[in-house]
């Protein structure tokens, strides 16, 4: 009963008509330094609809993390606004759960306790059974039921990132934010996790905003790919719609000629027109 109501609430099955979930309006970020103001972002505009999977790609130092930090609320724009469902974002909160690159799990808590802490903090009023159900459901979703009593240092990097994803999803965020989540993983684990993430996103219809520097990863995962121009004073250069049908199959996509056109286009964008003049 508890599980049923829990799964039925909150998410529209089809993301149409697209309602803006997240709006980034004219966002500028300037850090004052001793050598004068350092403009990191200059006039960024982006609208994300509910249920979308968005990837942001760009050279390192192009301000993509700064942009993400303003969406998660760790950082405030110098000018412009970031709104979630019309509400101005002022500080971090569980409606915008973040999966960090370095997992950010608490090493003294077990895998189960790490996820439970999040559920318990966000839904203190739920009864114990319901909280336990939510935790176990999300750990099962990422295939970690066997490891619930283990502590993060005892499991592999891929498993740790699975825990972090389970923890983020367990509180049912409006927006799931991933900051280069698979950057530290080996190639095989990375592909496995990409497929799992895509499957979870497809089944749960959550909204995802993810930073990556991996073009193949972005092409496999996202609906729209945001290309950032180089910093300083970075902005959104282009937003590319990725046409592959969901549910996606990696082999299928790799056979699609469009894949290589898109890949070359993006490569050219990042390393041709946008390459560093050094």
Residue 157 interacts with another protein (CB under 8 A): yes or no:
no
Distances (CA, A) of 138 to 123, 141, 172: 15, 5, 10
Name the pairing type of β-strands 36-49 and 175-179.
Answer: unpaired
Residue 100 interacts with another protein (CB under 8 A): yes or no:
yes
Tell me the Cα Rg of the chain. 19
Out of 7, 37, 108, 145, the only residue in the binding site for another protein (CB under 8 A) is 108
Residue 74 interacts with another protein (CB under 8 A): yes or no:
yes
Residue 117 interacts with another protein (CB under 8 A): yes or no:
yes
Write down the least CB distance from residue 117 to another protein, Å: 6
Residue 275 interacts with another protein (CB under 8 A): yes or no:
no
DSSP of 180-194: STTTTS-HHHHHHHH
Out of 96, 138, 162, 190, the only residue in the binding site for another protein (CB under 8 A) is 96
Residue 70 interacts with another protein (CB under 8 A): yes or no:
no
| Nearer residue to another protein within complex by CB, 39 or 184 | 184
Sign for the CA dihedral angle at 92, 95, 99, 105 comes to positive
Out of 97, 176, 197, 215, the only residue in the binding site for another protein (CB under 8 A) is 97
Out of 122, 139, 200, 234, the only residue in the binding site for another protein (CB under 8 A) is 122
Contact yes or no for 50/207 (Cβ under 8 A): yes
Q: How far is CA 138 from the centre of its chain?
A: 17
- State how far the Cα of 116 lies from the Cα of 120, in Å rounded to an integer: 6
| Nearer residue to another protein within complex by CB, 98 or 135 | 98
Residue 110 interacts with another protein (CB under 8 A): yes or no:
no
Residue 90 interacts with another protein (CB under 8 A): yes or no:
no
Instruction: Report CA dihedral (204, 206, 212, 216) to the nearest 10 degrees.
Output: 50
- State how far the Cα of 187 lies from the Cα of 185, in Å rounded to an integer: 7
Out of 14, 34, 35, 91, the only residue in the binding site for another protein (CB under 8 A) is 91
Name the pairing type of β-strands 236-241 and 224-228.
Answer: antiparallel
- Hey, which residues between 127 and 156 contact another protein (CB under 8 A)? 153
Distances (CA, A) of 18 to 21, 22, 48, 99: 9, 11, 9, 25
Q: How far is CA 56 from the centre of its chain?
A: 9
Convert residues 169-198 into a mask of x (bound to another protein by CB under 8 A) and - (unbound): --x---------------------------
Out of 23, 39, 78, 109, the only residue in the binding site for another protein (CB under 8 A) is 109
| Nearer residue to another protein within complex by CB, 23 or 101 | 101
Residue 87 interacts with another protein (CB under 8 A): yes or no:
no
| Contact residues: another protein, CB under 8 A | 72-74, 91-94, 96-98, 100, 102-104, 106-109, 117-118, 121-122, 153, 171
């Amino acid at each position: 009963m508890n599980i049923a109501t829990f799964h039925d609430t909150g998410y529209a099955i089809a993301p149409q008509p697209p309602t803006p979930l997240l709006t980034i309006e004219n966002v500028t970020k300037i850090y004052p330094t001793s050598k004068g103001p350092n403009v990191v972002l200059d006039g960024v505009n982006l609208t994300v609809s509910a249920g979308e999977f968005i990837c942001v790609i760009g050279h390192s130092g192009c301000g993509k993390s700064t942009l993400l930090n303003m969406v998660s609320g760790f950082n405030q724009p110098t000018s412009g606004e970031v709104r979630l469902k019309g509400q101005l974002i002022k500080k971090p909160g569980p409606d915008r759960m973040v999966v960090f690159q370095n997992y950010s799990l608490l090493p003294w808590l077990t895998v189960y306790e790490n996820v439970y802490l999040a559920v318990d903090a966000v839904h203190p009023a739920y009864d114990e059974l319901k909280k336990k159900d939510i935790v176990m459901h999300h750990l099962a979703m990422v295939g970690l039921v066997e490891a619930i009593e283990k502590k993060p240092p005892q499991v592999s990097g891929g498993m740790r990132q699975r825990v972090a994803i389970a923890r983020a999803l367990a509180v049912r965020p409006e927006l799931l934010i991933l900051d280069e989540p698979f950057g530290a993983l080996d190639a095989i684990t990375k592909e496995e996790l990409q497929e799992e993430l895509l499957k979870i996103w497809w089944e749960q219809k959550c909204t995802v905003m993810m930073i990556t520097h991996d073009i193949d990863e972005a092409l496999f995962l996202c609906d729209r790919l945001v290309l950032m121009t180089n910093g300083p004073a970075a902005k959104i250069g282009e937003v590319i719609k990725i046409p592959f049908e969901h549910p996606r199959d990696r082999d299928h996509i790799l056979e699609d000629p469009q894949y290589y056109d898109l890949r070359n286009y993006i490569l050219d964008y990042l390393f041709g027109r946008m390459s560093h003049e050094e």
